[in-house]
Amino acid sequence: MTHPTSLRLASYNIQKCVGLDFRRQPQRILQVLESMQADIVVLQEADKRLPPRPAALPHFMLDEAGWQIVDLGGAGSLGWHGNAVIWRGDRIRVRHTGHHDLPGLEPRGAVRVEFETQIGPLRVMGMHLGLLPASRRQQITHIRQDGRSLDQMPTVWAGDFNEWSRQPVLDNLVPDMNFLPPVPSYPAAQPLGALDRIALGGGLEALAHGVHGDRPAHIASDHLPIWVDLQRAG
C-alpha cells in the first residue's frame, strides 16, 4: 500500500487484452491491475483496432472491480486513440480532460487528465508514441509545446514510448521533464527493452518506481506494467 501522502501511478500497454498465448482475457488484465495497488493507471491499446473501436477491457468489468473511467470522448471506447486513464479511491477526482493529436505517419494521440489528489493537483499525460524514431521525436516535441499553453501544474508523462535506444534520446528533447531511470518491460516473458517510461515535471518526486512482474503479468499482455510512487517535492 502507498503512504497516505503519496500516490501510486502506473502505466500499462494491455495489447487489447490479448496475452502472449493469443487469448483475449480481460480478467487477467484486471488481476494485474488489482495486484499493482495503483491509484491511477494510464493504459495503452485499451480499445480494439477497427472503428468504432469498442473497449477491449469492458466498462462493466472495470465498474465491478471498483475502477472509475475518465471520459475522454470516445463513444463506446475506453479512451482515445487507444489511450485510457482509470482511477479509484475517494481521495481523487477529475477536474479537466483533453487530448492532443500527434504528428507522424501513423495516427497517434495523447490524452490529458487533470486530477485533484491526495498529493494535490496533478496533470497526467498518457501517450503511445510511434514506431519511427523521427515520429517519436516530433511527438515528444509537440507534447512539450502544447504543455506550454496550459496552466502550470505538477505533471507526469506516462506511456509506451516505443524507444529501444538505451541512450536518453527522448529525454534530451524535454529537459524540463525528469525521466525516471528505464526499467525493462518488453517483451513481458523476458523483458529486454524499456519501452514504457514515466517522466516527472517540477513539483513532483519519486519515492520508488519499478516494473510489475507478478503473475499473470508475464502472459496477460506483451508488455509488463511500470509504476511510480509520487509525492510533492520539497
Indicate which CATH number applies to the domain containing 41. 3.60.10.10
Pairing assessment for the beta strands 68-69 and 84-87 based on DSSP bridges? antiparallel
Task: Examine residue 164 and state whether it is found in any structural domain, yes or no.
Answer: yes
Percentage with pLDDT > 90 across the chain: 88
Number of domains in the chain: 1
For 30-50, the pLDDT digits (tens) are 999 999 999 999 999 999 876
Task: Examine residue 2 and state whether it is found in any structural domain, yes or no.
Answer: no
Asked if pLDDT for residue 3 goes beyond 80, the answer is no
Whole-number pLDDT of residue 1: 46
Show the cell assigned to 75. Answer: 463513444
Task: Examine residue 143 and state whether it is found in any structural domain, yes or no.
Answer: yes
Task: Examine residue 185 and state whether it is found in any structural domain, yes or no.
Answer: yes
DSSP three-state, residue 171: helix
Task: Examine residue 1 and state whether it is found in any structural domain, yes or no.
Answer: no
For 135-174, the pLDDT digits (tens) are 999 999 999 999 999 999 999 999 999 999 988 999 999 9
Asked if pLDDT for residue 75 goes beyond 80, the answer is no
Asked if pLDDT for residue 85 goes beyond 50, the answer is yes
For residue 17, give its domain range.
Answer: 7-232
